[in-house]
Amino acid sequence: MSAERGERRILALDPGERRVGMAVSDPLGITAQGLPTFDRRGGDLVARIREVVSEYGVERLVVGHPIGLSGRETEASQDAEALADRLRAQTGLPVDLWDERLSSTEAQRVLAGRRAAKGDVDRVAAVLILQGYLDAHPRDV
């Protein structure tokens, strides 16, 4: 799938130990929509990402980078960096790390009072990560 001029699809990931939230941008790179959450116990994450890349014509990946509130690296941020490196090597796509501090907290706030299924917080967090990225990187017209 080739992108028309001005179109760009971006896939964002909110990596967790057990689940990975995913969101994809619209073709113009303006808004983020959540995709089903990937359960790491259910298969190969990179293979699933390749499927989504192919299905949506994704041109760039964004990986949530959970820097600690103090601004220091954490074990989770090192895991996110390793995932980004793996994705660069195995997909050939550009991969950006995006500060996701408090994205899960904000996702829980968004879902407060609702009956959320497993993975809903991860999916909403991925949407928030991607929307923040898109807002900071407006498309060239």
Q: For residues 124 and 91, which has the higher predicted lDDT (pLDDT)?
A: 91
Which fold would CATH assign to domain 9-136?
A: Nucleotidyltransferase; domain 5 (3.30.420)
What residue ranges do the domains of the chain occupy? 9-136
What is the per-residue pLDDT for 96? 96
CA 114, 118, 121, 124 torsion-angle sign:
negative
- pLDDT, one tens digit per residue, over 16-25 is 889 999 999 9
The whole-number average pLDDT for the span 109-133 is: 77
Confidence check: pLDDT of 118 > 50? yes
- pLDDT, one tens digit per residue, over 94-111 is 999 998 765 565 655 565
- pLDDT, one tens digit per residue, over 56-69 is 999 999 999 988 77
Q: How high does pLDDT run on average in the chain?
A: 85
What is the per-residue pLDDT for 3? 44
What is the 3-state secondary structure of the chain? CCCCCCCCEEEEEEECCCEEEEEEECCCCCCEEEEEEEEHHHCCHHHHHHHHHHHHCEEEEEEEECCCCCCCCCHHHHHHHHHHHHHHHHHCCCEEEEECCCHHHHHHHHHCCCCCCCCHHHHHHHHHHHHHHHHHCCCCC
